Amino acid sequence: MKIVGVVDPDDERRSLTKERFELSEACCFADIEEFIRKPKMADAVINSTMDHLHVSTSIPLLTAGYDIMLEKPIGIHADEVLNLYNEAQRCGRKVMICHVLRYAPFYESIRQKIADGVIGDIVSLTTTENVTYHHMAMAYVRGKWGRQDKSGSSMSSDCGRHM
C-alpha cells in the first residue's frame, strides 16, 4: 500500500502527513469536496473521521468512485448505515470495515494455536474488549469522544450515565 494523499481540515496534521509520506502539495486537501473535485488518484481511501462524520464523508467518496476502508462504527444510526450500504450498492463500490484489533499479535497468536490444534476442539468462543479506566478517562471523558454532541459516539453518552 502506498499513501498518495491526505484530506484533513487541520493544517498542522495535514502538513505532518505531507512530510511523513513525502506528498506533493497537489495531493493535500482541506476537505472531502476539494478532494473529490480532482481526478481519481487512488484505488481506495481510508476514512478515519469522527464517528458522526463516517457516513456523510463516505458517500461523496463512493460517488467519486473510491472503495473505502471505514473505521468502526459504520455510522451512528441504523438509517444512515443503510443509506451508506445502499449508496455503495448503487455505485458498485466496496466499504470495508476496519476492526483494529483483528490482526493484533495476541489475537493472531490465539488464532494460530487454534489452527494448529494446540488448544483442542473449539466448541464456542467469546471475546470481549473491556474499556479500561485509563482509556475511558483519556478518550471518552476528556478526549475527543467526551461529548456526544461533538463526536456522535454512543460511548460518550454511556459515560455520563455511569460515572
pTM comes to 0.68
> What pLDDT sits at residue 134?
63
Predicted confidence (pLDDT) per residue in 39-52, tens digit: 999 999 999 888 88
Q: What is the CA radius of gyration of the chain?
A: 19
Give backbone dihedrals phi and psi of 28, rounded to 5 degrees, phi first: -120, 130
Give backbone dihedrals phi and psi of 161, rounded to 5 degrees, phi first: -80, -25
